[in-house]
Structures are given as structure tokens and as C-alpha cells.
Amino acid sequence: MIRYTVQRLILIALTLFLIVSIAFITVRMMPGSFLKSRNLPEDVRLIIENKYHLHEPLIVQYKYFVSDFLRGNFGVSLGLQPKVPVFDILKQKIPITLQLNLFALILIIPLATIFGITTALKKNQLYDHIANVLVIIAISVPSFVFASLMQFNLAYRAGWFPILLSTEKALTWSKFHSMILPIIALSVGAIAGLTRYVRAELAENLNSEFMLLAKAKGLKQIQAVFRHAIRNSFIPLANMIIPLFMGILGGSLIIEQIFGIPGTGPLMISAINANDDPVTIAVLFFYSIIGLTSILLIDLSYGVIDPRIRMGGKR
Amino acid sequence: MRLTQHSGVLNNGEVDEMSEYAIEVNNIYVTFNTYSGKVHAVRGISFKVRQGETLAIVGESGSGKSVTAKTIMGILSKNANIEQGSVMYQGRDLLTYSDDQMSAIRGSEIGMIFQDPMSSLNPVMKIGKQITEALRLKQKMSKTAAKDKALQLMKDVGIDQVEKRYNQYPFQFSGGMRQRIVIAVTLACNPRVLICDEPTTALDVTVQSKILELIKELQRKRNMAVIYITHDLGVVANVADTVAVLYAGRIVERGSVEDIFYNPKSPYAMALLASMPDLETDTQRELYAIPGTPPNMLFPPQGDAFASRNQFALNIDFAEQPPEFNVSKSHVVSTWLMHPDAPEVVPSDFVNRHVASQDANYSKSAHIDYQEKVLQVKSLKQYFTSGIGKNRLTVKAVDDISFDIFRGETFGLVGESGCGKTTTGRAIIRLYEPTAGTVIFNGRNLALKMKDRERREATRGIEMIFQDPITSLNPRMTVKEIIGEGLRINKLCQSEDEMMEMIYSILDVVGLTKEHATRYPHEFSGGQRQRIGVARALVTNPELIIADEPVSALDVSVQAQVLNLMNSIKKKLGLTILFIAHDLSVVKYFSDRIGVMYYGKLVEVAEAEELYRNPLHPYTISLLSAIPHPNPKYEKTRKLIKYDPKMHDYGDKNVSFTEIKPGHFIRCSNEELHQYLAKIK
């Protein structure tokens, strides 16, 4: 198990390096540069070019970039907040995005599990049919539509929630209150998708032969479902959580914009618009770390859920 | 919706007799709601089983055997309706019980074993926990007491190192061991009635006879009533005291095992017995095959359901359901043939009428040309490796085997699952790339490394028929496309019209019609699908056919049809067949020569008759001793001869594949050769 974890960590480091390299090259290849700005005096431009080695060929710049990067130095922002280290900008923005995403995840997993299990148990009954219609609506309507609708109806007209996110730094009740709508907007689609998945998996496991044997040995239906069917249907589920989490992160790009949340989403968009390359790369790097860590956690959790993987067996 | 009617049988006078029977099933009628309508799966089945007695329920797939068992257990799927009937257990009707009430009966009063041990255990739960689960939850046993009980149970079902095994997961056990665990799970709460639903169908013959022994022994010790569901008449002869023969949801005949096997009265039982090839079947004649297919239970036929497939059917058979006639006190049969006015039909009539109708010069071996070798396999090796460095694992699936197949011959390859017989077939047709050795076909060595195009060129003339007719046909293609694909790829036809012409003629050969060409595979029955598989293989006009277990997924009556079809086509077209199967009686009937494989090695090759009369290799002897025969007298005395692979751990001794007498090869060391030679004399 330890060996496996170490192997995975090395692989992750390699992947991260690849991602950052590709990000560096693609970002540099994008048209436009903040140096091309008309307001910039010629001498200032030269100074900046020399300082950041911008006149050198791309490959040499890449060398400088890598050596800085390996020392944990992301450089300073060029366009958005000139001369402020990128790391400090990120440090302000990351907590709020992470908070939002984690709250969404905390909401999604239990709700999706509950809906999935109940619909599977009541398959083809009225409850299941109603839930199915709702699920399809939730999957097909984009999250920003939900966000706008809720903002207008619940926040603006009913006045139950603040329209925008509270600017308080600490996580207080009023701050949490203002986070509720963004969290719901982020979760709806994911809850629906996951519900469908849990329902399908569980329905299949309910018809499996080991459920028959569980009942044949005298377990009540409810005991058999909870002791045998559910754990088995969670195995493929773990795999779903990776794209799910990445999906929420992607969704938060837009949701943060709508609710005026100063997170990494708006930061990335404005960094790209301002041609602020160091910030763009740093945000991409942050997203990759989140993605790869969640993949690692899920791969490791497989071993806990499924003994066949832990012990290297096959079916 | 449960429409329970007490059928009044028990109400008067017979109450005293009640305790005599462990379980009584009275006139149950079960239907299923499906999208296409109401399926009448079980149409009024009644039987009684005494304590300590074994009742075998025999029937083909779809005859309602499993539905009957699930009705007793109360584990029918949600779309099932029990329309009428009762299941009496200790004076109570189980069909009136709610699901929760039934959970007190299941396991502790009535236990059930399922067909596939690979899927009936929870893959992520330790087997110890699966055994103790019911004890802990239902009997509120303490953890240590439950564990002690479980360990004892595991010993009882023949598992060693129980302490270690207790904490293992199902995937760490083989199929036979898993079925033992399932038995231990089922017996944990000491049920008085045990229902076995095809418990050995998914297992190898040698494992099967061990499991059958185990069930019989446990039954003796615990004095359980056993309801044994199977389609295998050989197994029935082995385990049963009484037998109920099921057809289309009804019991057509019921009696002691001797009644059914030696004195069958219903046409279905007679036909079923006639269509099973056993080791005694005359291989020079065509097998008796029941014509047609079982009825569609969406529209259960009026009258006797078997009438349309019965060549001796009377007019009344098509109009009216036959009543039950008592042959003797124990033997009840439901057929109009028992009516005093009916003509007399005896079992041999089925075979004789059939023999009279067939070709006088039907003979298989006459077509073999022993001068010409179609396929020569020499020291073929097929290894599979996985992992790198220290973790490198090599599986020797096929390890140095050699054999020749002559023109017009059927060469049978038998062995247990995992012995490499399927791999051999696939390596020959180059689905795998052989590790070493030569395979000579049409003067070319197929085992060489080849480019894709060359390989296609070289293996043209070899075709394959697969085991599972359901999964081996693409469900999105019509029959026409499936059969025509080979023609198109190999560019065997010039125009679309010519292709259709060839497809129609091959459909005719395999007994299907032009109209079938535009349909999809799911519209056909299992036997018809296998005919499509045969047609697909034949259309390119191959010289050699590799048939990988072509009949093992089919019912007995359909199996006979397909075997006859393959035999007649083979004769007509002068084909050569490599026949891979695990069912020795089928292989014996179908093949001219047989090779026995064990763990990647060919251990014995001989002519079918010779191999069966004088098996020499201990493994062959063990394999032959494990086959159940549809003959109760033989079965009661049959002893399984165990094969201990350790005796063939040759170390560095010189082992060779030697011709011990003309045509009979055996794998042995020098010393053994002398022993074998002494044995022949």
C-alpha cells in the first residue's frame, strides 16, 4: 500500500510538471502581451523585458521559469496587481473557492446517495418517476441559469438571501448565509447526475445473485440492501467523484462571477484578459493540484472499499 | 397482488399425514408481467417432499423450475404474481406470509443454494462474516460463538485451514470452493429443507461430483429434505429419490427415480431420455433430437404443451389438457397416452422410429482420409505474461502440445475449465500470437510472426463457432449482415446478388429460411442462434472449423439438434472439425479421436472408443469416473476416482508423449511407460 502511494505521488509530480510546462507554452503562444500596451513607455518596456528575460527565446525563458517554479516562486503579477507576488494573490483567493467547493461537495454526496438509494428501492413507482423528471431537468439546465433564477427570485424579490457574497473575511453566519445560494447553484446539477448513477448501480446490485443469497439466508430486505447491495454500488461511484469535483470547480468559474465572489474563477478570467501570464499559469497549477489530489484520494479509497484491489486479486 | 386459495387438500382427514411431509406445494400458478404480456411461467405445480428425501425437478430452461423454487422461498421478482396455490410448511401456508415474516423462515427453516457460485457471494465481504451474518442477526449469537459455529461449518463442507480462510474474500477461492462456502452460508441456521437450484451447472465435472457427494452427505447427517433443480439427467440419476419432470410450467411426470428412468410413460420424458447422448450411445448413428422448440409461455398452448413436438401426439393432445393417471402408487403421469383407448408407445419407439427414418449409410468415420493431415500442431506453446521485473508472472496456458487432425475428422479436445483447450483453439486461428511451436495448415506455418494481411490470408479456411450464441452475435446486425460479413471481408463474392444467393443457400443448409435473413439475433431462440453461428462459420466454405463448446449453453433437446446439424453438414461438405468441449459424453459421441488436456498439457490422445474403453492416464480415468450417467443403478454405485497431480511432478525426469499402441498416445515418463504397457497386456 505504501509502495503504491509513493508510486502514485511520483507519477503525480511528473504529471504536474507536464501540465505546468504545457500551460507555460500555450499561455505564451497566445496572441497579445501586456508589453504591447500603447501606454507603456519604451524604456520601461526594455527594463521589464530585461528583468523577465522576455527578449530571450522561448526555450531559455522556459529554463528560467522552471528553475523559479521548482523553488516555489511563481513570480510577480504583471498586469492585474503589478509587482505583487502571484503567491500572495492566490493566497487571498483560494480559501473562498475551496470553501465554496467543499460545502457543495458536502451537500452533494449525502443528498445524491439518499436520492439514489430511495429511487432505486422504489424503482418504477411514482416517487421514482417524479425524481427522474426532476433529475433530467437539473442535469439539462445549466448551473448559471439556476444561479440567475435564484438570485432574482429568492434574493432580489423575496429578499431571503443577500444578492452578492458578503465581504467578511472570517466565516461567520452572515457570510455563510450569503454562500447558500452559490452552493445550491453549484450542487444541483451534480446531485442530479450522481443520483442517476447511484440509482443505476444500486438497481443492478439489487438484482444480483448475492442479494438473493442474502435474502435466502434470512436477512430482511432492508438488512440485505444495507449490508450487501449498497457497499457494492459505491465501488464504481468513487470513480464518478473525480469528474464531479472537477465539474464543480469548472462550474464555480461562472457561479463566482454571478454572485460576485472574489475567488479563483474571476481571477483566472481577468488574468487571461489582462495577459497576466504568471497569474494565469499559477491558477492553472492550482486547479491541476486539486484535480490530481482528488484522483489520488479516490484511487487510495478504492483499496479501502474493494478488497480485490487492495490485495491485487481479480474477480 | 397475491390471490391465495387454499386448495382444501389438507382440510379434512389428511391433517394427520401432514407431519410426514417436510414441505408440500399445492397447485401453484405463477405469472410474470412483462412488456409483451403475461408470461405463464408455472401453471399448477404440486409436489410433496418427505424429511430426508431428495426430490429432483428436471426440465429445460424456461420450464418453470427456478420460479417454483423462488416461489417457495418468497424471493420472486417484483413483477411476479402468485395467482393461486399454497406452500404448506409445518401446517402453515408460506404464501400468506409477508416478506418480513418470510425472513424468519428463510435460512433457518428453508435454505437455498444458487447456480453460480461466482456471483452469489458478496465480493467485498469476508466469507467468515457472510457465514456468521445470519447467526448474529437472527439468532443473536455472540461473536465468538458465531465464529466457532462458522469454523465448524467450514470444516463440514470440506475447507481446510479454516482459521486463515475465515478472513479471506470470495475472490481468493476457486469456483468449487465458493460453492462450498455458499453451502456453509445456507446451512448456518440449520434449515430442515434445502433447495438447490442447479448448484453444479457452472462447475467442472470433477468438482461437480465432489459437491454432489457433499450435499448428499450433509443431507444424510442432518436428515434434510432436498429439492434439487437441474436440467442434467445424469445428476438427477445420482441424487434423486423421486423426480418431477417439468415441461412448460406443468409437471408431466412424477415418480421414483427408477420409475422415470426405467419406465417413463410421458412422451416428453421418453424423448428427453432418448436425446441425451451418453457414453454408450452408438456414435455411428444420428442422435435422436426432439423437433421444434419449447412453447412461448406468453400464450401457453391449449391441451398438452408438448403435443406439437411429439410425433405420437393424438388429436386430443392438441385440444385438451391430459388428466393425471396413476401408474403406480408413487408414479403419476399426465398424458393421454395412458388413456385406455390410446395406442401404446414405449421409449424405444422414439429411437427406432427415428433410426428407421434416417439414412441407411449414415456413418461418420467413412469420410476420414487418414493420408492427409489438415492441421499439424507441433510443440505449440502459448504463454501469457503480466507485470515487469520481479513481479513478472508467466501463465503457461498451453505448454508444448502436439497433435494432427486428418481430413474429414472430428478431433475432440476435453479438459476442465482453465486447462487451455480454448486457448489452443484461439492460438491456432491466431487470435493470440503463439509463444513457440508450429501450426501447419495448408502448407503454411500459422504460428510465425506475420503481418496482419498475411495472417488473414493464411488463416482463411479456418472458421470458428463460439460457445455463447447470445453474446457471439452482434445484436445490432441482421442475420444477413452477420453471415455476409465474412464473404465481404474475404472478397468471396462479386456482387450483392451473389452474396444474397450464398447467404440464402447457407441458411437453407442450417435449417433456417430466407425470411430469417433480415431479422436480428434477439428474435431467435438459443438453438436457432447457434444455427446462425454455424451458418456464419460455414459461408466462407472453410476446410477446418474450430467449434469452441458450441452446445454447452444449449438445452438437451436443442443440443441434439445442433449436433445432428453439424454432423450432417460435415458429411455433406467434407469438413474437418476441432471440437472443444468439457462434456465428455457429447465429445465421445461427436468425435472420432479425443485429446485430453490437463493444465496446458495434452496428457492422452486416442480414438474415442479406445479412450473410453481403455483410459490409461490417471487424469483421464478420473475425468471419466466423474461423469454422471442418466442411469440410477450405475449412479448409486459410481465412485469418483481422484486424481492427484503431485504424482506427475516429474521434476527433471524425461517425459515424452509416446504412442503406446497404434493411435493411442500418452504423456508419461519411461518408468510409467512400462507400467502402462504392462497394463495393456
How much is the ipTM here? 0.77
Residue B395 sits at the chain A interface (C-beta within 8 Å): no
Q: Of how many residues is chain B composed?
A: 681
Mean pLDDT in order along chain B per 10 residues (681 residues): 42 48 92 87 92 91 88 89 91 90 90 87 90 89 92 88 89 86 90 91 82 90 92 88 92 92 89 78 75 81 83 81 86 85 76 61 63 89 79 82 90 87 89 89 86 85 85 88 87 85 86 85 82 88 89 78 84 88 84 90 90 89 86 82 78 80 85 82 72
CB contact under 8 A, B103 and A218: yes
B301 φ/ψ angles, rounded to the nearest 5 degrees: -65, 155
B45 φ/ψ angles, rounded to the nearest 5 degrees: -105, 135
Distance of CA A181 to the CA centre of its chain: 18
Residue A208 sits at the chain B interface (C-beta within 8 Å): yes
Closest CA to B124 of A201, A217, A315: A315
C-alpha cell, B452: 496482419
Contacts of B73 in chain A (CB under 8 A): 215-216
A250 φ/ψ angles, rounded to the nearest 5 degrees: -65, -45
Burial of B442 (0-12, 13-18, 19+ CB in 10 A): middle
d(CA A100, CA A92): 14
Supply the pTM of this predicted model. Answer: 0.80
A230-258 and A86-121 are packed helices; what angle lies between their axes, rounded to 10 degrees?
130
Residue B388 sits at the chain A interface (C-beta within 8 Å): no
Chain A CA closest to residue B132: A217
Q: How confident is the model at residue A38 (pLDDT cuts 50, 70, 90)?
A: low
Distance of CA B136 to the CA centre of its chain: 37
Q: How confident is the model at residue A199 (pLDDT cuts 50, 70, 90)?
A: very high
CB pairs A-B closer than 8 Å: 98
CB contact under 8 A, A219 and B111: no
Query: What does the buried/exposed string (b/e) look like for B278-300 if buried means 16 or more CB atoms within 10 Å of the residue's CB?
Result: bbebebebbbbbbeebbbebeeb
When CB atoms are compared, the residue of A209, A219, A314 closest to B116 is A209
Residue B435 sits at the chain A interface (C-beta within 8 Å): no
When CB atoms are compared, the residue of B118, B182, B189 closest to A218 is B189
A216 CA: distance to closest CA in chain B (Å): 5
d(CA A241, CA A104): 12
pLDDT, residue B55, reads: 94
Chain A CA closest to residue B170: A315
d(CA A53, CA B271): 92
d(CA B565, CA B584): 19
Residue B89 sits at the chain A interface (C-beta within 8 Å): no
B487 CA: distance to closest CA in chain A (Å): 38
pLDDT tens-place string over residues A229-239:
888 888 878 77
CB contact under 8 A, A220 and B99: yes
Residue B657 CB neighbours (<10 A): 18
When CB atoms are compared, the residue of A212, A217, A308 closest to B134 is A217
Residue A215 sits at the chain B interface (C-beta within 8 Å): yes
When CB atoms are compared, the residue of A216, A311, A313 closest to B75 is A216
Chain B CA closest to residue A315: B171
Per the listing, cell 475425468 goes with B623
A231 CA: distance to closest CA in chain B (Å): 8
- Mean pLDDT confidence for A19-27: 87
Chain A CA closest to residue B102: A218
C-alpha cell, B193: 429443507
Burial of B72 (0-12, 13-18, 19+ CB in 10 A): buried
When CB atoms are compared, the residue of B114, B171, B172 closest to A213 is B114
CB contact under 8 A, A208 and B119: yes
Closest CA to B270 of B323, B338, B341: B338
pLDDT, residue A304, reads: 76
pLDDT, residue B5, reads: 41
When CB atoms are compared, the residue of B138, B169, B185 closest to A213 is B185
Element (DSSP H or E) covering residue B400: strand B393-407
Strand partners of residue B601: B598
Under 8 Å between Cβ of B102 and B112: no
d(CA B577, CA B589): 14
Residue B255 sits at the chain A interface (C-beta within 8 Å): no
When CB atoms are compared, the residue of B118, B120, B123 closest to A232 is B123
Q: Which residues contact B455 (CB under 8 A, 6 or more apart)?
A: B430, B446
When CB atoms are compared, the residue of B124, B137, B182 closest to A219 is B137
pLDDT, residue B551, reads: 82
CB contact under 8 A, B99 and A221: yes
Closest CA to B213 of B194, B200, B231, B198: B200
When CB atoms are compared, the residue of B124, B137, B186 closest to A306 is B124
- Cα torsion A93, A95, A97, A100: sign: negative
A149 CA: distance to closest CA in chain B (Å): 41
- Cα torsion B314, B315, B317, B321: sign: negative
d(CA A8, CA A238): 17
Q: Which residues contact A68 (CB under 8 A, 6 or more apart)?
A: A74, A75
A305 CA: distance to closest CA in chain B (Å): 8
Residue A310 sits at the chain B interface (C-beta within 8 Å): no
What would the 3-class secondary structure string for B49-76 be?
A: EECCCEEEEECCCCCCHHHHHHHHHCCC
Range with the lowest mean pLDDT among A34-38, A205-209, B384-388?
Answer: A34-38
Under 8 Å between Cβ of B30 and B42: yes
pLDDT, residue B17, reads: 46
Per the listing, cell 503454411 goes with B444
Q: What would you measure as the largest C-alpha separation in chain A, in angstroms?
A: 86
Instruction: Using the predicted structure, report yes or no on whether residue A315 has a pLDDT greater than 60.
Output: no
Closest CA to B225 of B183, B256, B184, B194: B194
d(CA B329, CA B59): 23
Contacts of B69 in chain A (CB under 8 A): none
Query: What does the buried/exposed string (b/e) look like for A52-65 if buried means 16 or more CB atoms within 10 Å of the residue's CB?
Result: beeeeeeeebbeeb
The SS3 assignment for B136 reads helix
d(CA B59, CA B41): 13
CB contact under 8 A, A220 and B185: no
Residue B121 sits at the chain A interface (C-beta within 8 Å): yes
d(CA B626, CA B418): 17
CB contact under 8 A, B122 and A313: no
Contacts of A210 in chain B (CB under 8 A): 119-123
Element (DSSP H or E) covering residue B578: strand B576-580
Element (DSSP H or E) covering residue B383: strand B369-386
Instruction: Using the predicted structure, report yes or no on whether residue A131 has a pLDDT greater than 90.
Output: yes
Report the amino acid identity of residue B444: R
d(CA B546, CA B463): 6
Residue ranges per structural domain of chain A: 2-70, 97-262
CB contact under 8 A, A227 and B133: yes
